[in-house]
Every structure is written in C-alpha cells, then in structure tokens.
Amino acid sequence: MIFFSERMLTGAILAAVTATAVAQSATQNEPQPATKGQVIFSRSVDENGETKTLVGPTITEPAIQQAKASTVVDAERQAVTFTRYDLEVHLQSVAQQLAVRAQLTVRNDGKTPLRHIPLQISSTLNWERIRLDNRDVSFTVTTLNTDSDHTGQLHEAAVSLAQPLAPGATLQLDVSYSGKIAQTAQRLLSIGTPEDVARHSDWDEIGVDFTGLRGFGNVVWFPSASVPVMLGDGSKLFDQIGENKLRLAGCRFRLSLTDEFPHGKAPTVALINGHAVPLKVVESGSLDQAQEVLSVATASLDDSTLGFESPSLFLAIRATHPAAHATLWSREENSVAAEVWAESIEKVLPFLQNRLGEKPREDLTLLDLPDSEDAPFESGALLATSLHEAQSEQLNSILAHAMTHAWTHGRGQAPPAWLDEGVAHFMGSLWVEKQRGRDQALGSLEAGRTALALAEPSSPGESAGTPLAQAFLPAYFRTKAAYVLWMLRDLVGDDALTAALRSYESHPERQSFEKVLEQTANRPELSGFFNDWVNADKGLPDLTIDGVYPEPAQSGNWLVAVNLSNNGYASAGVNVTVRSGSNSSVQRMEVPARGKAVQRILVQGKPYEVQVNDGTVPETQSSVHIMKIESSALPPPPVDPTKK
C-alpha cells in the first residue's frame, strides 16, 4: 500500500490508496478515479518531531504499559513457535524508517498452557498495536538486554491471554510497529571489539543506496521470541541463532514491500529471504525536495515456506551483470571486478553440473555490500559480499560453495540444513581436491574438526548431542555433514554418491536421502551408517593402533596384521594403508563402537609404515594415525633353500 501524504512516515496503511492502483496509473498513463475508503491506521510526525499513531475507525489508541520487569518467563519464550508470517513492510529510506503491519500465527510447543505471548523486536522499533480475535488488547513492553539484536536490546511486548493457550494449539495476532534502523555496533563495542571490526560485522541498516536487514542474530526486524543471551557467554548466542532458524523451518511466509525513496534514487534490486523479486517503480516526477513527495517502489514475495533460515530483506541501487545461472549486482566502482567474478562462475559451473545436475533450482544472486571489508552473508541462493578484485583461485573456491546453494535451496521444499550447507561445503572441498589434491581437500575439513570434537558429547550416555538431521550449529550442519558425505563417497563410491545427489536435488519433493542413496548405490544396508552418523548423535570415533604384526610371505610379499580399537560410541569405516619401500596397499576396515578389529593386509616389499584413517573420518583427538615399523621388529626374511 502506497501513500504520499505530507510529512507522513513510512507505514501508514490506507485502504483508499494501494500500490496496485498507483502502478496501474503509471502503466496505463491515465488518471485513476479516487477511491473512497476507511483509514485502518495512519502514522505521522507532529510539529515537535514526535511520531503519532491514529487507529480507526474510532481513532482510539490501545493501552500500552511500559514495565521495568517482564511478566514473561523463559519457558514461555521457548514455547512460542511462529508458523506463519504475513507482513506489510513500509520503508522510508531517507529517514531510515521501517513500519510494519504483521499478521502472525503462533503455536504453543511447550508442555504447559501459555498465559502470555511474548513478541520481540529491535530496541529501535516500537510496538504500537496488537489485536487478538479482531479486538485490540492491552500489553506491557519491557526492554530486554540481549545480543540477538545489533543494539544489544529488544523491546518485548507481553500479551496476557484471557484463556491460556493449550500445548499444540495456535492463535492469530495482528500487530503493528515502527521505528528507525540505522547501523550500530553497540553490542560488539560493549565487549571491547575494535570499532573497525565491529562496524564491518554489524552493517545492517536502512538507507537510500543500500538496505540490508539480515534478521534474528543481526537485527530483529520481524516479531520473534527468544531467551535473552549475551555475547561472551560461551556459544549461547550462536546456539540460539541456530535454534531460531530450526524452529522457523517450515513456517509459511509472505511479504509485501513498499519503499519510498527520493526522485532519481530508485532501487534496482530487491531480495526477500534470499530470493530476487521483481520491483515496480513509480517516480514522483518532481525534483523539488521542498514538496516532500517521494517516489515509490513495490515488491512482494507470495506465500512461501522458510527453510533453515532467518527472514531477511535487501534493497539496493546496483548495476546488474548477468552470468550463467547467476546474476551479479555490483557497485559502480566494482563493475570490472564483477566481470571477473562472472568468469569464475563459468569455470566452476561444469564441475557442479557434472555432480548435481544440468540446471540449478534457482539462479545464484551475488549482491555487492557497501564496504569492501563488510562481513559476507549467505541465505539460500544469495551471497551478499564485496565484489572486489580477488585472485581467481580464491573466487573459484568461494563460488563452488555459493553456486551449490542454487541447486540445494530453490523455491521448492527446502532440504535439512545438513544437506543444504553440508553439500555446499562438500562441493567446495571437492573443488579443492580437483585443483590441489585430496590431502589439501581433507586439510580444509581438518580446520573445523576441533570445533566439532568440542561440540560433540563425550559420551551419548552423558549428553544426547545433536542428531545431524536436526542440526542447528555450523560444526554439525557444515563440518560434520561434509565429513559424512566424504565417508559415504568412500563407502559407496564416487559415481553412486554423485548419482544420488543429482537425483535428490532434481526431485521436487525431496525424498529421504538415505533411500535415494541406497537405490543408486544398490546398497540396502546403509541404515547402520545413517543411524550412527545422521539420525542420532553418537559422538566421534576414537581410534588407536593397538599393534602391527608383519610376517614375510612368498615372492617378496609381506602379510601385515593391524589391530585397532575404538573407544568412541560411533562406528568407523577407515582406510588402512601399509607402505613398503616399493609399494603400498590400502584396505577398508570397519571398527565397531567401543570395540576392536583386526585386518591382515598383503603388501609387496618390506613394510615400514602403517597409516590408519587418512582424515576422511573425524575423530575426537586426531584423524590420522601413523605407526612406524622398526627394522629390528621385523623377522628375517625366509631363507630360499635353492640358494647357498
């Protein structure tokens, strides 16, 4: 909905004037008759600079009480799950203003009835109205200290329910809020982060040239519910960001966007939840700023389903650079560099097509951030980063990962996080293998293994851990998932895994990946592997070489017995390599959880070394074990009776 009232901020919702009517008027180049209607609510600025809200039809304001302490407890915040967002978002880019009317559906996922519904937004936004069952309800607003927002605080509205919401039940709310979103790094500065680093990390803001709102964990621009957490308190904030994404997976989402901008400063690209959406622009036709008549752009994302993601919104003035299955949006000063990025896409595309299929589900979008030092952001098939000049090898590796999301994260049913981000990380490591060899590729995984080992439970009896299928931490859905795909590659073969990925990514309904792989590999016994590594979290293996026993055999061969034990709770299928001066022999060994295994391996020539695990299977301590075979420990070679 669009309006041009004098001194009125973004967010006034008028039934009399709609975006459709304005767009049709511009398209047909004909004046449209005025439409009579009733003001639902309007927002304006008075002569003192204060925001004033009028609510129709009787222009009464709901009762809003400011409270020093919240009546909501953490159990209530954890119980609320949003199952539907229907948002009307209005931006006034010059004033950096946001105003939203949102229809929400929430569900009680707790075990007890809910007496309060907590709703949270950034502390620079203000609650204005909340309706339940078509009636205004009173609510209290409390400021919470929490680093899930870049300001370090949230405004929490607590809605008291006349009838408690039963477990599993849902209700609908109609809410309105508005305020200013400017760049701030307050939460990072308060813990001593250098100002330059903080500014390039927390870059979210509303502006004429660039609007970037990354969502929960950066700026809470849509209603949410979460337990207050602070940076520096271990990994609690990052755990909460992942949990919030997991709880939103499957949520229905719709957004209608209106942006008011100065004449001649029309945005050229709009992205909602990582998806590029068409923009309709209506210029005011006036350069006289004194008239305060702003031009308008509208866009929308129709009924969609959220995957493992936080709702995000981007709007920017950028130049477009088309590429194969991708579109790049760059700042003017990065136009030449953007063409280099496009060339890198051309280089990695055949590699991905060979492994994932000829055509991705959705084209990749690359969005140039305002500053070359700004931290990158990824959401589905969107990569927001600085499109500055970089080495070709570096760009190829980045784009092998980013382009994979174009296959895994289309507008159809979203895959679980471990197959979305895990496959992208896996493809990035395979590109490294293609360019620099297997050892370098496995070395890239090793960089994340320590964090994974720390996240894993030391014993499933002490902690349930996180099954990969429900993963919400990067150590799981990125690092562990990539390891799992490497292990499956060794287990079923490269061709079978490639066929399974191609089949899975092309299927509109996203069948069980386990079933797809069993069919393509003709290996119906994969349930044991998936039970240990995907469907449950049994921690990591912990292998030890208990002993190596070489014996000479005929014709210069040696038979080497390798004894292994596994102190972990997850089974491990590892490659065991016996090396001699002239040859090496590799065999796969299955070592059960909390068990032992023995393998006899034949190698040509006198053995000098045994290696267990080449880094493909992540372990608690080290993923490569090497034992030297001392010459003194070797028995003498058999005497040939024909020789004297």
Give the tens place of pLDDT for each residue, 354-375.
Answer: 999 999 999 999 999 999 999 9
DSSP string, 136-180: E--EEEEEEE-TTSTTSEEEEEEEEEEEEEPTT-EEEEEEEEEEE
C-alpha 262/C-alpha 285 separation (Å) is 10
Same domain, 324 and 312: no
Omega before 57 cis (within 30°)? yes
High-pLDDT (> 90) share of the chain, %: 73
Same domain, 325 and 398: yes
Q: What is the CATH number of the domain that holds 219?
A: 2.60.40.1730
Same domain, 308 and 453: no
Q: What is the pLDDT of residue 288?
A: 53
Q: Which tokens hold the place of 549?
A: 């026993």
Quick one: average pLDDT of 512-522? 90
Are 602 and 553 a contacting pair, CB within 8 Å? yes
Confidence of residue 292 (pLDDT cuts 50, 70, 90): low
The pLDDT of residue 50 is above 50: no
Question: Which pTM does this prediction carry?
Answer: 0.84
Confidence of residue 319 (pLDDT cuts 50, 70, 90): very high
Per the structure, the count of domains in the chain is 4
Q: What is the pLDDT of residue 20?
A: 32
2 within a domain of the structure (yes/no): no
Confidence of residue 5 (pLDDT cuts 50, 70, 90): very low
Same domain, 511 and 580: no
Residue 134 CB: number of other CB atoms within 10 A? 7
639 within a domain of the structure (yes/no): no
User: Which comes out higher in pLDDT, residue 63 or 593?
Assistant: 593
CB-based burial of residue 47 (10 Å sphere; 0-12 exposed, 13-18 middle, 19+ buried)?
Answer: exposed
Are 205 and 153 a contacting pair, CB within 8 Å? no
222 within a domain of the structure (yes/no): yes
Same domain, 450 and 553: no
Domain stop point among 515, 533, 551: 533
CB under 8 Å to 8, separation ≥6 — which residues?
Answer: 42, 43, 44, 45
Same domain, 42 and 131: yes
Quick one: average pLDDT of 297-309? 93
Same domain, 426 and 468: yes
Domain stop point among 271, 299, 316: 316
CB under 8 Å to 385, separation ≥6 — which residues?
Answer: 366, 367, 368, 369, 374, 376, 377
Same domain, 378 and 396: yes
Whose structure tokens read 């009680």? 108
Range of the domain at 554: 543-633
What tens digit of pLDDT does each residue of 223-252 get?
999 999 999 888 899 999 999 999 999 999
Domain stop point among 411, 428, 449: 411
Q: Which tokens hold the place of 177?
A: 């809020």
Q: How are beta strands 572-580 and 607-614 bridged, if at all?
A: antiparallel
Same domain, 99 and 149: yes
234 within a domain of the structure (yes/no): yes
Q: What is the pLDDT of residue 4?
A: 25
CB under 8 Å to 215, separation ≥6 — which residues?
Answer: 221, 222, 309, 310, 311, 312
Q: What is the pLDDT of residue 555?
A: 86
DSSP string, 242-296: HHHHHHHTT-EEEEEEEEEE-TT----EEEETTEEE--EEE------GGG---EE
Give, rounded to a whole angstrom, the gap between the first and last alpha carbons of the chain.
102
479 within a domain of the structure (yes/no): yes
The pLDDT of residue 33 is above 80: no
Closest CA to 569 of 538, 543, 597: 538
Q: What is the CATH number of the domain that holds 621?
A: 2.60.40.10
Q: What is the CATH number of the domain that holds 361?
A: 3.30.2010.30
The pLDDT of residue 528 is above 80: yes
Q: What is the pLDDT of residue 283?
A: 86
User: Which comes out higher in pLDDT, residue 502 or 49?
Assistant: 502
644 within a domain of the structure (yes/no): no
Confidence of residue 29 (pLDDT cuts 50, 70, 90): very low
The pLDDT of residue 508 is above 60: no
444 within a domain of the structure (yes/no): yes
The pLDDT of residue 352 is above 80: yes
The pLDDT of residue 388 is above 80: yes
Q: What is the pLDDT of residue 523?
A: 87
Same domain, 557 and 571: yes
Same domain, 480 and 338: no
Quick one: average pLDDT of 463-486? 90
- Can you say whether residue 192 is alpha, beta or left, with left for phi > 0 and alpha for psi between -120 and 50 degrees? left
643 within a domain of the structure (yes/no): no
The pLDDT of residue 630 is above 70: yes
Quick check: helix, strand or coil at residue 598?
Answer: strand
Q: What is the pLDDT of residue 409?
A: 80
Confidence of residue 524 (pLDDT cuts 50, 70, 90): confident
User: Which comes out higher in pLDDT, residue 33 or 243?
Assistant: 243
Same domain, 146 and 66: yes
List the single range of 56-65, 126-135, 464-473, 505-514 with lowest mean pLDDT: 56-65
